[in-house]
Chain A
Amino acid sequence: MWTLLQIELYKIFRRPRTYIAFVAITVLVSIVQLGLKSDGKEYIDFVLSDLKNSLSIEGKILNGYFVCYALLQMLLVNVPLLIALIAADMISGEANAGTLRFLLTKPVSRFEFILAKFLAATVYTLMLLIWLAILALFVSLLLFGTGDMIIPRNGYLVQLKASDVFWRYIGAFCFAALAMTTVAAVGFFLSLFAENSIGPIVATMSIIIVATILSTMSIPLFNKIKPFLFTTHMVAWKEFFDIKVDENNASIAGTVQHPERITRSAIVLAIHIVALVTASVYVFKRKDVLS
Chain B
Amino acid sequence: MMTQEIIKVDGLVKKFHNLTAVNNLSFTVNEGDVYGFLGQNGAGKSTTIRMLLTLIAPTLGSIELFGMNLQTHRNEILQQVGAVIEKPDVYKYLSAYDNLKLFARLNGKVTHKKVMDQLEVVGLADRAKDKVKTFSQGMKQRLGIAIALIHDPKLIVLDEPTNGLDPQGIADIRNLILHLCKEQKKTLLVSSHLLTEIEHIATKVLIIDKGRKIIEGSSADLFDPTQTIVEIQTTDNAFALQQLQQSNWRNSLQLERNEAVVIKIDKQAIPQLHRDLVNMNLRLLSLQPKHSLEDYFLQVTSGKQHVDAFTN
Question: Is chain B in direct contact with chain A in the complex (CB below 8 A)?
Answer: yes
Whether A106 sits at the interface, judged by CB under 8 Å, is yes
Q: How far is the CB of B189 from chain A (nearest CB, A)?
A: 13
A11 within 8 A of B: yes
- How long is the Cα–Cα vector from A10 to B310 in the complex, in angstroms? 33
A98 in the interface (beta carbon within 8 A): yes
Instruction: Report the interface size class on chain B.
Output: 35 or more
State whether B94 touches A14 (Cβ < 8 A). Answer: yes
When chains A and B are docked, how far (Å) is the Cα of A103 from the Cα of B89? 11
Q: Is B94's CB under 8 angstroms from A107's CB?
A: no
Min CB gap A4→B, angstroms: 8
Q: How far is the CA of A14 from the CA of B93 in the complex (A)?
A: 8
Which B residues touch A103, using CB under 8 A?
103, 106
Is B92 located at the chain interface by the 8 A CB criterion?
yes
B contact residues around A10 at 8 Å (CB):
102
- How far apart sit A106 and B107, CA to CA, in the bound complex (Å)? 7
- Using a CB-CB cutoff of 8 Å, which residues 73-100 of chain B contact chain A? 74-79, 81, 83-87, 89-94, 98
| Partner of B75 from A11, A98, A107, A288 at Cβ < 8 Å | A107
Q: What's the least CB distance linking A203 to chain B, in Å?
A: 23
Instruction: Give residues 5-51 of A contacting B (CB, 8 Å).
Output: 7, 10-11, 14-16
Among the listed A4, A16, A97, A106, which residue makes an inter-chain contact with B103, where contact means beta carbons less than 8 Å apart?
Answer: A106
- Contact across chains for A109 and B91 when beta carbons are under 8 A apart: no
With A15-B93, A99-B90 known as contacts, the answer to whether A109 contacts B55 (CB < 8 A) is no
Q: Does B129 contact A (CB under 8 A)?
A: no
By beta carbon, the residue of chain A nearest B95 is: A14
Please, how many angstroms separate the alpha-carbon atoms of A286 and B91 in the complex? 25
Contact with A along B36-53 (1 / 0, CB 8 A): 000000000000001001
Per a CB cutoff under 8 Å, which of B78, B84, B90 touches A106? B78
Residue of A nearest to B78 (CB): A107
Contact indicator A104/B89 (Cβ below 8 Å): no
Asked if A267 lies at the interface with its beta carbon under 8 angstroms from chain B, I say no
Contact digits for B13-44, partner A, Cβ 8 Å, 1 yes 0 no: 00010000000000000000000000000000
Q: With A and B bound together, what is the CA distance between A104 and B107 in angstroms?
A: 11
Give residues of chain B (87-135) contacting chain A, Cβ–Cβ below 8 Å. 87, 89-94, 98, 102-103, 105-107
Contacts known (A7-B105, A7-B106, A290-B56); A105 close to B93, Cβ less than 8 A = no
Are A102 and B105 within 8 A (Cβ)?
no
Chain A: minimal CB distance from B228 (Å): 38
Question: Does the CB pair A97–B91 fall under 8 Å?
Answer: yes
Q: Are the C-beta atoms of A107 and B107 separated by less than 8 Å?
A: yes
**Cβ contact within 8 Å between A101 and B55:** yes
Q: How far is the CB of A105 from chain B (nearest CB, A)?
A: 4
A-B contacts, 16 listed (Cβ < 8 Å): A3-B105, A7-B106, A14-B98, A16-B93, A98-B86, A98-B87, A101-B85, A103-B106, A104-B55, A105-B53, A105-B54, A105-B83, A106-B103, A107-B78, A108-B75, A108-B106
Closest CB pairs A-B (n = 7): A98-B89, A106-B106, A289-B55, A107-B75, A107-B78, A107-B79, A288-B56
